[in-house]
Structure 1
Amino acid sequence: MLNRLTTFPMHKISLSLFLAVGLVAATQAQNVTLPPSGDNQHATVTQWIGNLVSVTIDYHSPDVTAPNGEDRTGKIWGQLVPYGFNDLGFGLRNPAPWRAGANENTTITFSHDVQVQGQPLQAGTYGFHVVPMENEDWTLIFSNNATAWGSYFYDERDDALRVKAKPEASEPHEWLTYEFIDRQADQTTVALMWEKIKLPFTVAVPDMPQLYADNLRKELQSSAGFTWQGWNTAANYLLQQNLNLEEALQWAENAVSMPYIGEENFTTLQTKAQILSKLGRTDEAMAAMEKAIAHPTASALQVHSLGRQLLAQGQKEEALKIFQANAKKYPHTWPVNVGLARGYSAVGEYKKALKYAKMAHKEAPDQLNKDSMASAIEQLQQGKDIN
């Protein structure tokens, strides 16, 4: 029996082939790079808060001048970007905010937990939307949906956080731009700027010192923990922050005596001594301090610097003892007499302080230090503390 071939009308074959070719062409078009839609340039900006926390904003940037050359100044807010929530005519058709940019979803990524306008927000990447208002504060929306196209599929059930921000008048900005206009040790201020409006909002890191401490703990389990310098630096940070002092003492002890890593020297011993002092273990602190000063690695300048640190911390009597020990170990060495002048001045013994200030003035190694001591002498003669 002959095999029967199934036949199709030619016009159906042509139509099927056309659709298949069209589908392949559309699929392939997605794999090529073309200019951005509407010439809205893609931009990414990142700011670090300290050395640990990063804030990254990824957006497309429309401009005031339309693609046809029209100057849209005065027509952006309330017209091109309507006030309030609006039906965008596509997608979910829910009342939607502005995408805070153009084309794809504007996103903002926080590497760590932060506070936005004082409200907590967990680390992660969020879709960022804005609700402009004509005569009110604007609403910032951080959505858990960070992959949608613009605001077409916005759903308030995805909101992670809503906060208010106050728009301000600003110098003209042709392109929508995000900038970090204020940068502090534990916070930054982000500003959306376009046309003649600036919308600033703060991003702060709660308890930054503890964040550093947690990170130090991790780093000490890696290469940093294989040197005494790593342990000593970490212990010093906790000391300066008055944070986790018992842990700081253990880190300082590791810097001194950890097998194959620790090293007993002036630097490690004085760190240990200061932590013991901060813990109120005075006798142990003085013993460690005396050992540090007597150690062969201790220089006159290092001991002097230690005394200055204690003065800055308000430990006047302890600082004077350090300056006196330095003078005993390194007599007639700069800046020993400077230390004695400062030490006696700190405890109110201005006559003794004046004596050593005059001696230091004669020993000054350069004009800058000579002028500094001349000023100190003048202050002491007036009965004023030089610290």
Structure 2
Amino acid sequence: MRLLALALPCLLTTALSAQVGLTLPRSGNTQRSAVTQFIGPVKVSIEYGSPAVHGPDGADRRGQIWGKLVPYGLTDLGFGHRKPSPWRAGADENTVFETSHNVLIEGKPLAAGRYGLHMIAGPDEWTLVFSRNSTSWGSFFYEESEDALRVTTKPSKHDYREWLTYEFTSRKPAEATAEMQWEDLAVGWKIAAPDIDEVYLSKLREELRNTAGFTHLGWNAAAQYCLQIGKNYEEGLAWAEAAVSKPFVGRAEFSTLSTKAQLLERLGRDSEAKEAMRAALNHPSARPVEIHQYGRQLLAAKRVAEAMEVFQLNAKRNGDEWPVHVGLARGYAATGDKAKALEHARKALAQAPDEVNRKNLQNMVKEFGGGS
């Protein structure tokens, strides 16, 4: 009944202001708050009423929140349907948890949607309740039959919080931790995107049907993402083909042709991959640094002879331009010709465009027997 006495005047005053279409101060010294976090393309938000530890009359309720103002377990709130109900996890209207995509909450699946968030408090363990009903007032009309998910979690001590607050306290590429903080306590739970790669791919498919699909850059970037994540090569190749030759959009140049070549290679279509890469390397758009980087990739893959051919092609096409001699130095070193490697390392050192490259090339010269 204490919860009812505290909540009912706020309910009536706030509801009345909404009914007459006026914007008036909220009752009970409680402001509406919201927090949003993206997990990649997945948008997660929590909207809630934020009560204070000090009551509307100024009374300090510290030490009187957990197990008292917020009862442990389910309780009859004295209004609504009068069934044992959880806490509304905030104040006034439903606390609302919304996710744009399917997620895992503490390892359990929750479909994309908008949910009323309730909590069953306890001294050692809490239960989070995600209800399909997100439009009711608080927990007064909570129905267990509308539960979409329940998970358990542990409370922890926290620095003092006057205002109830939700925060995302840890963030990783495919997961985040949400936390409710109030008074001296926090309750957190992990939210994970179960297949973040597929979420991105789905988004790419959608976006390529819009303005991103009106340029070769969009198709090429989507194809490169498939290389980055190491899967979806067939569709990636189709995107690469569009980047090269799609009517009114495609553009055959080093970046698009080399992306196509890499995807063909991942699919085991080696002869086609070599042909596409040859076209990329010999295309007028191929810059010395791009040719050099491809040679470095071949060296890293222990394909020394092929790398040497690429470095020599770069020299034939671009003469003394940076970083032609760097590539030749590395290529000759990989073949065991230290004299040639030293010759080109010295030439590259004389061209070094910045301090980082200069120091690296000085070390290379020393390594090849050129002294200090």
Q: Does the TM-score normalized on the shorter chain lie above 0.5?
A: yes
Partner of 2:92: 103
SS in structure 1 at match of 2:356: helix
Q: Which runs of 5+ in 2 are unaligned?
A: 1-15
Query: 2:58 aligns to what?
Result: 69
Q: Say yes or no: does 1:47 pair with 2:42.
A: no
Which SS does the other structure have where 2:225 is aligned?
Answer: helix
In 2, distance between residues paired with 1:344 and 1:378?
15
How far did residue 355 of structure 1 move?
Answer: 4.9
Moved more, 119-128 or 266-275: 266-275
Q: Which of 31, 35, 48 is the matching residue for 2:21?
A: 31
Which of 177, 185, 197 is residue 197 of structure 1 equivalent to? 185
The one-letter code of the counterpart of 1:140 is L
The corresponding residue for 1:234 is 222
Give the TM-score, by structure 1 length: 0.85
C-alpha root-mean-square deviation of aligned residues, in Å? 2.2
Matches within 5 A, 1:271-282: 271-282=259-270
Aligned match of 1:247? 235
For residue 40 of structure 1, what is the amino acid of its counterpart? T
- Equivalent in the alignment of 1:293: 281
* Counterpart for residue 78 of structure 1: 67
- Is contact 1:300-1:335 (8 Å) kept? yes
Gaps of 5+ in 1: 1-25, 382-387
Compare 116-125 and 212-221 and name the one that shifted more. Answer: 212-221
Q: Which amino acid aligns with 2:225?
A: Y
- Cα offsets for 1:152-198 (capped at 9, x unmatched): 11111111001111211111111000111111111111111111111
Deviation digits for residues 106-164 of structure 1, max 9, x if unmatched?
A: 00100111111111100000000111111x22111100111111111111111100111
Match of 1:337 among 317, 325, 340: 325
Q: Which amino acid aligns with 1:37?
A: S
In our comparison, the structure showing a higher alpha carbon Rg is: 1
State the 1:27 CA deviation.
9.1
Going from structure 1 to structure 2, the CA distance change for 1:92 and 1:242 (only over 3 Å counts) comes to same
Q: Does 1:117 align with 2:106?
A: yes
The equivalences for 1:141-290 within 5 A come to 141-290=129-278
For this pair of structures, how many residues does the alignment match?
Answer: 353
Query: CA–CA distance in 2 between the matches of 1:62 and 1:358?
Result: 70
8 Å CA contact 2:17, 2:23 repeated in 1: no
TM-score by length of 2: 0.88
Shift of 1:379: 5.5
Shift of 1:199: 1.2
Partner of 2:313: 325
> Residue 220 of structure 2 aligns to a residue in which SS?
helix
Q: What percent identity do the matched residue pairs reach?
A: 49
4+ aligned runs moved over 6 Å, structure 1 = none
CA distance in 2, matches of 1:138, 1:27: 34
Partner secondary structure for residue 149 of structure 1:
coil
Distance 1:376 1:70, change over 3 A: farther
Aligned residue identity for 1:84:
G
